[in-house]
Amino acid sequence: MSERTLLRRTRTLIGSDAAFLTPDGIDVDSTQNYEVVRRRVFFDDVHLVTLHHERGIAYLVLTGLFGAFFLGIAILIVAINTDAWPGALPFFVVGFLISLAFLIRAFMGRDVITVFGRRSKAVLRFGSFRSQRARDVYGQICAAVRRGQSAVRTWESPAPALPPDVPMPPVEGASES
Amino acid sequence: MSAIYAGPLCPSCNAPLDAATLHAGVMNCPNCRKQFEATPFQPRERHHQAVQVVTETPDGIAAACANHERNAAVTSCTRCGLFICALCDMNVGEGSYCPSCFDRMRDQSTVDSGATRYRDYATMSISAAAISLLCPFLPIGPFAVFWGLKGVRQRRAEGSGIAGPVIAMILGSLETLALLVGVTLFIIGLVAQGKS
């Protein structure tokens, strides 16, 4: 297997995605239930690379609902019996952490790089605090694509060198004067 | 990857983007008006040049492609020996294959560079080790060791860390050993009880 550099690993509830930079393109390994599905986007096939900021509606709805649910239970326990606050503490901690994740995503969002190839695309998602890393990777990918596509052009169609003694066409302004 | 993927889309709303309107820098999607930074490229069009003149020899028409009878064969399939033209040549750095052999080999994961689906043995090994710790009476330790060995080989080939499968192998070995000792002691106990 050729040399690969890890660009980004994203973990979700159902699996994880790892994006690697290879000499020929970008490999995205998606792990689902002990099975890895590999997708490739080759540099000489890339049409467009984009970087955008998103919040992720599904994530916000999910964390918002769960956070509110756990905090609600904690408040309910304390409202019924103030002395039972130790019982409400675990619910409060879980609810607080989930709500914190909701607030961080809602205010800061996250950066997403998408590489559109001819037949496939690769999506790299970065955490809320990894904006600079996203920009670095975006630049790294664009430079690699540029290098890859120019290498193919140079290899396939070398520009013929002009012989040094070819006379240049006469310039109109110069002949009148 | 979507099955209906057909080129550049808006990264926010997935509406198709017109290649003529793409430019480097900050762009707004004409559909959702959301902003994104773009760097367009112009990939080279691929042209496969099939030799379309099949030469005639005294024995008849020689070396025509098995799939395209008007194209001359440029090579033969390494697996089945079928004559194939430049259009049919599926060369992935491990020899030339005809499209049907390539599909078959990719399905069976016997062609490494064409494989798109494989098992994550390292994670399987870690899970087996974890289960063997939680349920020590289940004989899962040997599986953790077996998958761990495969996982180490796989991770080394990828250039990733091997700490996970190695720890899983150690735990699996200990669990196997403990299980063997337990079973042996149990049998000895039964025998001793029988004698008495």
pLDDT score at A157: 54
How close does chain A come to B187, measured CA to CA in Å? 37
Record: contact B17-A37, CB cut-off 8 A: no
C-alpha span between A115 and A49 (Å, rounded):
5
Q: Is A143 an 8 Å CB contact of chain B?
A: no
Structure tokens of B174?
């200990």
The answer on pLDDT for A177 being more than 70 is no
Give the span between the Cα atoms of A127 and A133, in whole angstroms.
9
pTM of the model: 0.70
Residue contact B8–A47, C-beta within 8 A: yes
Give pLDDT, residue A98. 95
Would you state the pLDDT for residue A29? 87
- pLDDT score for B172: 92
Mean pLDDT in residue range B25-32? 89
Length of chain B, in residues? 196
Of B126 and A167, more confident: B126
3-state helix, strand and coil shares in percent for chain B, rounded to the nearest 5: 40, 15, 45
- Enumerate residues 6+ apart whose C-beta is below 8 A from B22: A48, B8, B38, B40
A109 CB neighbour count, 10 Å cutoff:
15
Token pair for residue B152? 């180490």
Average pLDDT, chain B: 82
CB neighbour list of residue B101: distance below 8 Å, 6 or more residues apart = B77, B78, B79, B80, B82, B90
CB–CB of B118 and A38 under 8 A? yes
Q: Is this complex's ipTM strictly greater than 0.85?
A: no
- pLDDT tens digits, one per residue of B37-92: 999 998 877 666 666 666 655 555 567 888 887 787 888 888 888 888 888 888 77
Contact between A121 and B5 using a beta-carbon 8 Å cutoff: yes
pLDDT above 90 as % of chain A: 46
B116 at A interface, C-beta within 8 A: yes
- Measured in whole angstroms, the distance separating CA B174 from the mean position of its chain's CA atoms is 32
